[in-house]
Amino acid sequence: MRVEAEHKVAGGKLVRVELEVEEGVIKRIKITGDFFLYPEEAVFKLEEALKGVRASSELEKLIEHELSKQGAELLGASPADIATAINKALTSIKP
Amino acid sequence: MAVDEAILTARTEGKVPNTLRLYTWKPSAVSIGFFQSLHHEVDLEECRNRGVDVVRRITGGGAVFHDSDGEVTYSVVVAEADLKRITPHSTIQESYEALCKGLLEGLKELAIAAEFKPINDILVAGRKISGSAQTRRRGIILQHGTLLLKSDIRTMFRVLKVSKEKISDKLIKEVEERVTNIYRETGRELAVEEVIGALVKGFQRALGVKLKEGELSPYELSLAEEFKHRYASKEWLELR
């Protein structure tokens, strides 16, 4: 099923996630919003890395790890903000 | 947008110098940030009806309404190493501030006291007058942004996706309180040329350089022509 969630970052930027979820597992994810990420292409690899993941408190670390692996820099939002949006979307699904 | 990228590309190949470009849009257009969702941000039907173009940038950040007679867009293409020599800095955030100084100095030319607000905004007495976005390719920075001459919040809300129920006189008033523009701050309707002249002086002073007026090179024009097709494509526009 498809779900989406928005998270307004302190400072005004927006992180939105659109997910395709099967039995609580992310099959596909799109992270959109008015934040900055350099290099920009890092977002595609991050989305790849989030496939197969469930809602958890480990999401933030996973995102942080993936971005640092790519040497990518996030501005206007943090890994925690992206994780918050994802967890919000995943937990919005009624069992 | 194709021209900005053409200058950036030509600069990475060492074929053109560091460049400041100042321009307006014809017709009016909405530009969205690289990471933004087209369908969440832009009312495409409203844009079509009003003859407003829609384009996705290669830079992040938010949606901007480029009113053909209500704003000036700037873009700076500069080698990271050159910018560092002029204004020592180490982070991307600091480079935004270093380049936005050109805008601050330009506004000062127009007797407007403005301040930089991280990440990418310029405020006058707490109200936003300008927003910028930046990317880099092979050691070259492209930073571009908008500077408002006047504000047409009503049209902006129509072409951007603000839920129609939410668009009330009250909301428009609130947003008008949060943004400002050059006409309002100077109390007169300046010619675009005057604003551009002030910005040229501002960037020269902020960066300690002497700018030389010029045209796009044939190479930049040919690159722009090539990139134009990508910017106009459905794939690029609907990338996210």
Structural domain boundaries enclosing B227? 2-237
Task: Report pTM.
Answer: 0.94
Q: Does A30 touch chain B (CB under 8 A)?
A: yes
Q: What is the mean pLDDT of residues B185-199?
A: 97
Mutation for B interface: A36, A37, A41, most B CBs within 10 A: A36
Residue of chain A whose alpha carbon sits nearest to that of B34:
A40
pLDDT of residue A95 exceeding 70, the answer is no
pLDDT of residue B117 exceeding 90, the answer is yes
Q: Identify the CATH number of the domain in which residue B176 sits.
A: 3.30.930.10
The answer to whether residues A87 and A62 touch, using CB atoms and an 8 Å cutoff, is no
For the ranges B104-113, B152-161, B195-204, B212-221, the lowest mean pLDDT is seen at B152-161
Q: Does B178 touch chain A (CB under 8 A)?
A: no
B189 to chain A nearest CA, in Å?
A: 31
Structural domains in chain B (count)? 1
Query: Residue B163: its pLDDT value, please?
Result: 66
End-to-end CA distance of chain B: 18
Q: Which of B63, B120, B135 sits opposite A40 (nearest CB)?
A: B135
Q: Which of B37, B93, B119 sits opposite A32 (nearest CB)?
A: B37
pLDDT of residue B87 exceeding 90, the answer is no
Q: Does B60 touch chain A (CB under 8 A)?
A: yes
C-alpha dist (Å) from residue B206 to B95, B189, B216: 13, 25, 23
Q: Which tokens in the block code for residue B210?
A: 């002497």
Chain B contacts of A37, Cβ < 8 Å? 35, 60
Q: Answer whether CATH 3.30.390.50 is correct for domain A2-91.
A: yes
Q: What is the mean pLDDT of residues B220-233?
A: 98
What sections of chain A are H helices per DSSP?
Answer: 42-49, 59-69, 79-91
